Each structure stands twice: as C-alpha cells, then as structure tokens.
Amino acid sequence: MTGSSSYERDRTYITTRITADGRDGYPVEPGRYRLVIARACPWANRSAIVRRLMGLEDVLSMGIAGPLHDERSWSFHLDPGGRDPVLGIERLEEAFHRREPGYPSGITVPAIVDIPTGRVVTNDFERITLDLGSEWAAHQRDGAPDLYPERWRDEIDDVADKVYRDINDGVYRCGFAGSQEAYDEAYRRLWERLDWLEERLGGRRYLVGDTVTEADIRLFPTLVRFDAVYHGHFKCNRQKLTELPALWGYARDLFQTPGFGDTIDFAQIKAHYYVVHHDINPTGIIPRGPDPGGWLSPHGREQLGGRPFGDGTPPALPPASERVPPPAPDAVARRG
C-alpha cells in the first residue's frame, strides 16, 4: 500500500535472461531449465500459454506449484511427497535463496530455475514470454506462431501497457485497495478500459492485427478469472464478463484456441484466491459458481476473419502429465 492506501505491486524481479548466445551466463539448452508456474496465477498463466504455443514442452520442463501458499509463498503440495519431482524442493523459495541467500523480494511465479544448480535464473514475467517466443527459436515446433511481429510491436506494446496498468493490475488495485477513494479510482480506470476493449473488439477478432499476439496472451488470463474471482472477490462488479458481448465472445474464442483454455484449472484458481486471501475472505469458503460450461459455447467470432496462428499451426495436445480437466457444467448449481 502507499500513503493514499492504493495497492502498489512490487515489480522488483530477477532480470537475468536465458538467451541463444548466453550473454547473461545462461544459454538456451534443452533440458537444462525448469519453468515453475501455478495454475492459479495469471502472471504465470502467460508463460504456460507461450510454452504451449511454441511447442517447447520437450525442451523446457514445467513444475506446477499448488494453489495454496502461506507467508513463505508457493509450495509443491500437489506433488508426491510435497516436492517438485525434478528440483527436489518443497517450496519455490528454496530456489530463490540458492540464487541469493535471504532473497528480499517476492517469491513469485513464473520463475525459471537452472536445474543443475537449483537456482532461479529469472522471474521477470514480461521478459520470459518474449524470450520463449524469440530466444528459444531453434527449439520451437514447426508451425510455431510469431507472437510479437516486428510490424505490430509498437501497437502491441501500447495495448499491452494499457491492459497491464488498468486491467491486469487494475483488478488487484480494486481488490486490495485500502480506502474507498483508492478503490473508486481503480474501479473507474478498470471499467473505462474494459469499455474501451469492448468497443475495440466489437469489429476485430484480436487485439492487434489479425492473429494472436502477446497482447492477447496478456489480457486472456485476467478475463478467464474475471467472473470466477475478480467480479465478487475483488469487487469488480459493475458487470460480469458474460454481460459484455464482444469481450465474452473474444474470451471464449481464445479459450477454445489450443494453448489457451487447456492451461486453465478453475478449481485451482478459485482455491488460491478464496483461501489464501484471508483479509478479503476470512472464512476461506470457496464459492461453487459460476458454471464454467459456457466457456465451450459457440462464440461466432470466426466471422470477423483472422487466423489465430497466422501462417503457423495449432500446437499438439499437452503432455498427459500437464492436462487439466475441461470445464463442465456445475451439477450442484444446476440442481439449485
């Protein structure tokens, strides 16, 4: 919090990069690194999507922290014995402390860990996705899309910056506001930006150009969590996503695109927010709704044209160990 009771995210990250030429001391090498995510986390969701779209599953393994954590942050409580099977650690903080004993900043996902040393290389979530799409080019699958095309980069950066400031981080500014004034300002900015997106997406299939880009990958994780979490839990409740025709169609279009919806686990998402945020939800009760079945309903966005992967192709199915259950209608909710 700041003096005005506004929420301010700690943006201190380890900015070391894994590059093709290894200029930071960490060259791209198949099998050397492990991407650690949590299904619950929207910032980590971006990396999981890009890894899927680039087809890097065989060269960059992925560890999945569970949805629950305490003041020591993310742990591998879903893995057998409560340890990551590759890194052999119980908590992600162990990898941060091996990099810097007493690491003073947030233990965050996504993080990429150097397996031989057990040290975190980077947790710079914005740079990770850009580098997976570029520095790892020699190991990407045939047909991997270009998510950051040169001719659209200025527009992608502009849109992504607006989305980050007012929506990705904006929902947190609403949820963790320490005063009515701070909340009202965050709420205003959030809905002004969502209205802007609703208008922008009314006549175009994707945010920038006619293919999926980094801009879409940065917006989607917030939209997919909106009705399940942010609408009620973070008090972002002017409307539900399902009440915004263009954004709801756009979000379903992406969800049904290989590489997006197959990274989403609604049960883990809700477990994280409603159980971990004791100050917002002290009872720890997890709501049963909303019914996720609508994510698979027809969206009709094909009529706007565009090709999700451009000249590329869809990714293959995720490895069996990484598959998540598809959304299904909530039988309890339907029984009333």
Catalytic residue among 33, 41, 230, 273: 41
- Contact between 294 and 334 under an 8 Å Cβ cutoff? The reply is no
Catalytic residue among 7, 26, 33, 172: 172
Dihedral (C-alpha) 37, 39, 43, 49: value to the nearest 10 degrees?
80
Dihedral (C-alpha) 173, 177, 182, 188: value to the nearest 10 degrees?
40
- Contact between 246 and 307 under an 8 Å Cβ cutoff? The reply is no
Residue entry with tokens 């930006």: 193
Which two three-digit tokens encode residue 100? 């810097």
Is 41 in the active site? Answer: yes
Rounded to whole angstroms, the Cα distance separating 298 from 310 reads 22
Rounded to whole angstroms, the Cα distance separating 211 from 311 reads 9
Q: Rounded to a whole number, what is the distance in angstroms from the first to the last CA of the chain?
A: 40
- Residues with a known catalytic role: 41, 172
